[in-house]
Amino acid sequence: MARTKASRQMCYHTGVSAENRIAQDYERRGFAIARRRWRGPGGEIDLITREGGNLVFVEVKQSRDFARAAERLSRRQMARIYASAEYFLADEPNGQLTNVRFDVALVNQAGDFQIIENAFGHD
């Protein structure tokens, strides 16, 4: 079933709102937002945060409930995030030696969220 233009726009704005909420939480906890919706050769990374010399690549998944949001992250998508993160690290002072982690932020339809730190490791 194809989505209408209005439906796609609503999904886009819902996603941006979820990402903004997660960014605010990271900032509240002392992280600086380095990039939002940064696009590398592997695809888009929703948020890249910085805490000192450490980077956190954050994938935001929004759905009706946390379980459905978590199900939306595939191995293929993780591989694309890794590829883009490696490209981003090329411009960092320590390059590939930069301390990084990959978090997943799950957002439900009520706007509640759960952040899973170090949700997936590099294979």
In which order are the strands placed within the sheet that holds 54-62? 32-40, 43-51, 54-62, 100-107, 113-116
Task: Give the domains, in start order, of the chain with CATH numbers.
Answer: 5-116 (3.40.1350.10)
Question: Which DSSP letter does residue 85 get?
Answer: H
Q: What pLDDT, on a 0 to 100 scale, did the predictor assign at position 120?
A: 81
The mean pLDDT values, 10 residues at a time, for the chain of 123 residues are 67 77 96 96 94 94 93 92 94 93 95 93 57
DSSP 91-116: TSTTGGGS-EEEEEEEE-TTS-EEEE
Question: What are the structure tokens assigned to 75, written together?
Answer: 């191995």
Q: What pLDDT, on a 0 to 100 scale, did the predictor assign at position 123?
A: 47
